[in-house]
């Protein structure tokens, strides 16, 4: 469960960066969805079903992006993001967490990002602007690497909660770009293509410092 749903009620460690959104804002925003989570649980809908629904929403969103109907992308993208909050709430608040559920959630998140950027690439292709497809590819690659570096670092016992462009922030930027239509999308693609690479580099450097400190302590 990525983004908001990863933020627990425990106090975060010092110098921990949770992106643009503060912990207090994330908690308050997440609380808005508790009635929905309770209703879905009462209906017997599982967290994994909600997770999969986010991929279906991503596919629909990508379709409208590809045909340049940007006005409908924002509400659809919000529904996709909201489902990513609800699946985490269902899993945690009703004791439905599982290792497979966490893996499925992370996998679907990556597929969702691919589908969305693929939609933008198709849009540029249909508009006769093929060079911009490269920008979409670079932005997608950066988005994946931001998530991958964190997952790989934490698997080896390192902390990697740094960087301003976590998944909720990336989705927000995509939504803002679509609000301003064609010019906004161009600016958004360029920004994400650059900023995601910088965030990935920031995370690598952060882990590198921890690894160096660990190596020095082991030598002593």
What is the pLDDT, as a whole number, of residue 141?
97
pLDDT, mean of residues 27-41: 82
Q: pLDDT value at position 1?
A: 39
**How far is residue 180's CA from residue 70's CA, in Å, rounded to a whole number?**
9
Model-level pTM? 0.84
Nearest CA to 203 out of 160, 158, 142 is that of 160
Average pLDDT for the chain: 87
Other beta carbons within 10 angstroms of residue 165's beta carbon come to 23
Distance of CA 84 to the CA centre of its chain: 9
Between residues 136 and 161, which one has the greater pLDDT? Answer: 136
pLDDT tens-digit profile of 87-99? 888 888 888 888 8
Least confident of 9-23, 56-70, 161-175: 9-23
pLDDT at 43 over 60: yes
29 pLDDT band (50/70/90 cuts)? confident
| Domains with residue ranges and CATH for the chain | 5-9+16-219 (1.20.120.1760)
- pLDDT, residue 17, reads 52
pLDDT at 138: 98
């Amino acid at each position: 469960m990525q983004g908001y749903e990863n933020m627990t009620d425990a106090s975060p460690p010092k110098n921990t960066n949770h992106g643009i959104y503060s912990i207090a804002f994330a908690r308050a925003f997440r609380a808005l969805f508790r009635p929905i989570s309770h209703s879905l649980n009462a209906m017997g809908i599982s967290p994994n079903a909600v997770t999969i629904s986010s991929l279906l929403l991503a596919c629909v969103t990508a379709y409208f992006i590809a045909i340049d109907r940007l006005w409908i992308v924002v509400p659809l993208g919000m529904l996709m993001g909201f489902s990513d909050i609800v699946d985490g709430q269902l899993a945690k608040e009703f004791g439905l967490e599982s290792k497979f559920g966490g893996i499925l959630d992370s996998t679907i998140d990556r597929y969702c990002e691919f589908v969305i950027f693929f939609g933008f690439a198709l849009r540029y292709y249909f508009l006769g602007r093929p060079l911009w497809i490269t920008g979409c590819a670079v932005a997608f690659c950066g988005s994946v690497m931001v998530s991958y570096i964190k997952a790989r670092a934490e698997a080896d016992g390192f902390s990697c909660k740094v960087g301003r462009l976590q998944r909720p922030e990336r989705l927000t930027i995509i939504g803002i770009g679509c609000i301003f239509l064609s010019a906004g999308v161009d600016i958004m693609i360029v920004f994400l293509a650059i900023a995601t690479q910088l965030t990935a580099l920031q995370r690598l450097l952060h882990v590198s410092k921890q690894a160096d400190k660990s190596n020095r302590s082991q030598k002593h």
